[in-house]
Structure formats: structure tokens, C-alpha cells
Amino acid sequence: MSGRRWMRSRVKAEIWRRVAAGEPTREIAAAIGYSVRTVEEVIWRAGGIAPRAFRGAPRPRSPLRLRPSEREEISRGLGAGLSLREIAAGLGRAPSTVSREVTRNGGRAGYRAVRAGTAARTRARRPKAAKLARNARLRAEVERLLERRWSPQQIAHRLAVEHP
């Protein structure tokens, strides 16, 4: 589709604003300078519902995720020499949550709240590349077993046993 122009995010936001206001696609297309077909395709690709980014609502934060203030408390607790259990009790969190957070982000000596928050946002980003796309050795092993006509269940079991 070489004839399609790249559409800026602000133009898409304008499309969704006008759709929400009930404007017909012909009027939207004329107002933004794109064809009716292009406007319809933007709407169609989203299933007729504006993506969250264009609805104006920030992505809701799960209560299961640590807040920046909690990461700061972890950092202060580590600096004060508190145990992970004591820090967790002070936060009202499970000790395993605090332990995983600290281990994942530099250990007791290297934990920094801001860096941990940045790393968590990076890990949470979507879409993620599939494991087979990221790991050539794993992909080659799966392909080899598929060529031998192994089932996906057999392959999964073997990989779990041989490559824990």
C-alpha cells in the first residue's frame, strides 16, 4: 500500500475526537485532509473503539505494582539496614514482593528507586518479542524437534526437563 501517507498521532486523535462527537466520516476526512477510506481504515483497525491513548484516560496502574513512593521506602529501608521482611511489613506488602524487587534491580547494595521504576516500565512495555524470536538456540531446538514430528506438548516437556 505505497499510496498511503504516514498519519501523525495528533491527526488520529482528531479523528477519534470527531468520531466521539458523532461526525460522519466524509466530514472528518474533509476536515483533516485524508480520504474517506483512510479515515474508515483507522476506525476499522481499532475495531470502532478509540484506543486508550486517544480516549484521554491514562493507563490505570494495577494496585499489585509497586508505586514510586514504595520503591523509595525500599531504598530508604535498605540504606537503614532493615531486613526485607521489615521493609515489607512497613509497606504492607509480601516479603517475596520486596525480595523480587530488590533482586531484580541491583540487590541490597545496588538498589536505586528511580532506576528500579524505569526498569519496571521498560519490562512492562508491550508488545514484546516472542521468546523464540529472541533466542536463536531455543528456536533451532524447537524447529529440530518439530521436523522430527514431535508434538508441542512433547517439546515443552523436553525443554522444561533439559533446559530448566
pTM score, two decimals?
0.55
pLDDT means per 10 residues, the chain with 164 residues, are: 64 91 93 93 87 72 91 97 97 96 96 96 85 91 95 94 82
User: Is residue 4 domain-resident?
Assistant: no
User: Is residue 61 domain-resident?
Assistant: no
Q: Give me the number of domains the chain comprises.
A: 3
Integer Cα distance of 113 and 115 in angstroms: 6
Do 75 and 117 lie in one domain? The reply is yes
Do the Cβ atoms of 78 and 111 come closer than 8 Å? yes
**Per-residue confidence (pLDDT) for residue 153, from 0 to 100:** 95
User: Is residue 60 domain-resident?
Assistant: no
Task: Name the residue range of residue 40's domain.
Answer: 9-55
Do 77 and 46 lie in one domain? The reply is no
* Alpha-helical regions (H) of 23-151: 25-32, 36-45, 52-55, 68-79, 84-91, 95-104, 107-110, 113-124, 131-134, 136-147
Do the Cβ atoms of 37 and 16 come closer than 8 Å? no
User: Is residue 95 domain-resident?
Assistant: yes
Do 120 and 136 lie in one domain? The reply is no
Do 50 and 98 lie in one domain? The reply is no
**Per-residue confidence (pLDDT) for residue 57, from 0 to 100:** 64
Give how far Cα 122 sits from Cα of 38, 90, 106, 116, 126, Å: 32, 27, 16, 10, 9
